[in-house]
């Protein structure tokens, strides 16, 4: 006859084996909404890379200390000319900027050339050895499977140890090919991976598709809608691709028809970035890439609730916590029954408000329930 003690023991054994529920970003040590790409090398044609290249590149590199973006990365790959001399300067300027500049609270990263390139080894060794202690992450481009990412993670750890750095940079992995997408779950499961980042242009190139500014979010919906789900299943983030239209600032004489057209085009590009970011947020992306400084605000604002809305979500969680102590498991919020699932979905508003400075940790604790307790209730 089955005894209660046997059931108890079996359930206890089961519970000890269970993994904790995963959710977006649970295993990611930082938060970011906008991810700004900054070229590590820039020079007008015909210039001297040692002088002209340095001056022009440093002007860009220093923008990392001024950007309002939560995160930036110095780009040694696509943004640097594919020439050994210029790649070497990009590598050198990147390492120097990382060593010398103060990035305050920004999330700091760099993108080496891809693992199949002749530049990858020098990028990885030189930059990490010189400035690995300043990095939160590396952006990893054009990999094809989880085995490659695992190998890169081991290399990063080895170089960091050899250089005497005690931090552990995460990997922000670009999903840019059908094969990489097919292995997205295995890639996300690697401990050092922080995010799956959608590389729309390379992905379209690999499948023979197109990236159209007005329709790419739906044209590539099969991939975009799944990446946040796959990433969250392993406790990681998904980061969305760039908007396919840059907000070029007007240069024509003010008051002229050309200037008016440029102003309108600039506004339309910003509106498109805001639309794409709002769509990304709704799908569950944690952030989105930024290519132009003017895109930072409309993109990051998509993840930034109003103070009133953030406080509403906070108080709903507080009321639920208090109600649980008096025997209630759900609260009525207007016409909606606010159970634990609703509290958890709304809690992202509180977390985004904390990231964006709309709320402070002290304000979250002010209603009398500890922030850690509220996060536990919300499943955060």
Q: Supply the range of the domain harboring residue 198.
A: 34-303
pLDDT digits (tens, 9 = 90+) for 256-273: 999 999 999 999 999 999
> Which residues sit opposite 337 in a β-bridge?
332
**Among candidates 106, 127, 213, 226, which has minimal Cα distance to 175?**
226
User: Buried (b) or exposed (e) across 11-25, using 16+ Cβ within 10 A?
Assistant: eeeeeeeeeeeeebb
Instruction: Kindly state whether residue 199 falls inside one of the protein's structural domains.
Output: yes
374 close to 317: Cβ distance less than 8 angstroms: yes
CB hemisphere CA count around 203 (13 angstroms): 23
Same domain, 145 and 246: yes
Strand-strand pairing, 336-338 and 331-333:
antiparallel
> What 3-state class would DSSP assign to 25?
coil
In whole angstroms, what is the distance from residue 276 CA to residue 269 CA?
A: 11
Give the residue carrying structure tokens 């300027």.
93
Q: Are residues 312 and 299 in the same domain?
A: no
Is the pLDDT assigned to residue 335 strictly greater than 70? Answer: no
For residue 237, what pLDDT is reported?
98
Structural domains in the chain (count): 2
Q: Kindly indicate the confidence band of residue 60, based on its pLDDT and cuts at 50, 70 and 90.
A: very high
* Residue 156 and residue 56 share a domain: yes
- H or E element at residue 341: helix 340-356
Q: What is the DSSP string of 59-72?
A: HHHGGGGT---SEE
Average pLDDT over residues 243-255: 94
| Whether residue 128 is found in the same domain as residue 42 | yes
* 269 and 366 housed in the same domain: no
pLDDT digits (tens, 9 = 90+) for 158-213: 999 999 999 999 999 999 999 999 999 999 999 999 999 999 999 999 999 999 99
């Amino acid at each position: 006859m089955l005894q209660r003690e046997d059931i108890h023991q079996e359930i206890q054994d089961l519970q000890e084996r269970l993994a904790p529920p995963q959710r977006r970003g649970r295993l990611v040590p930082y938060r970011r909404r906008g991810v700004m790409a900054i070229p590590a090398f820039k020079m007008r044609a015909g210039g001297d890379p040692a002088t002209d290249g340095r001056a022009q590149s440093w002007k860009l590199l220093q923008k990392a200390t001024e950007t309002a973006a939560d995160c930036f990365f110095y780009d040694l790959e696509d943004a640097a000319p594919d020439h050994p001399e210029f790649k070497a300067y990009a590598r050198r300027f990147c390492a120097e900027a990382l060593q010398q500049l103060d990035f305050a609270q920004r999330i700091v990263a760099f993108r080496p050339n891809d693992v199949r390139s002749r530049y990858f080894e020098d990028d990885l060794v030189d930059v990490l050895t010189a400035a690995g202690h300043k990095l939160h992450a590396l952006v990893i481009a054009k990999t094809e499977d989880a085995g490659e990412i695992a190998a890169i993670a081991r290399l990063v750890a080895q170089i960091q140890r050899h250089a005497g750095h005690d931090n552990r940079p995460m990997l922000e992995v670009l999903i840019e090919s059908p094969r990489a997408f097919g292995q997205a779950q295995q890639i996300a499961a690697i401990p050092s991976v922080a995010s799956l980042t959608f590389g729309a242009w390379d992905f379209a190139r690999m499948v023979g598709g197109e990236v159209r500014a007005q329709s790419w979010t739906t044209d590539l919906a099969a991939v975009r809608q799944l990446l946040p789900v796959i990433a969250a299943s392993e406790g990681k983030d998904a980061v969305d691709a760039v908007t396919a239209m840059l907000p070029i600032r007007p240069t024509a004489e003010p008051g002229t028809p050309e200037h008016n057209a440029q102003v309108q085009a600039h506004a339309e590009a910003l509106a498109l970035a805001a639309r794409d970011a709002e769509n990304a947020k709704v799908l569950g992306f944690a952030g989105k890439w930024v290519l132009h400084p003017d895109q930072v605000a409309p993109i990051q604002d998509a993840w930034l609730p109003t103070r009133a809305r953030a406080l509403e979500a906070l108080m709903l969680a507080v009321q639920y916590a208090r109600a649980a102590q008096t025997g209630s498991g759900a609260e009525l919020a207007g016409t909606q029954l606010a159970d634990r699932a609703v509290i958890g979905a709304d809690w992202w508003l509180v977390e985004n408000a904390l990231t964006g400075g709309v709320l402070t940790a002290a304000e979250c604790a002010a209603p009398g329930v500890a922030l850690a307790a509220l996060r536990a209730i919300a499943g955060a």
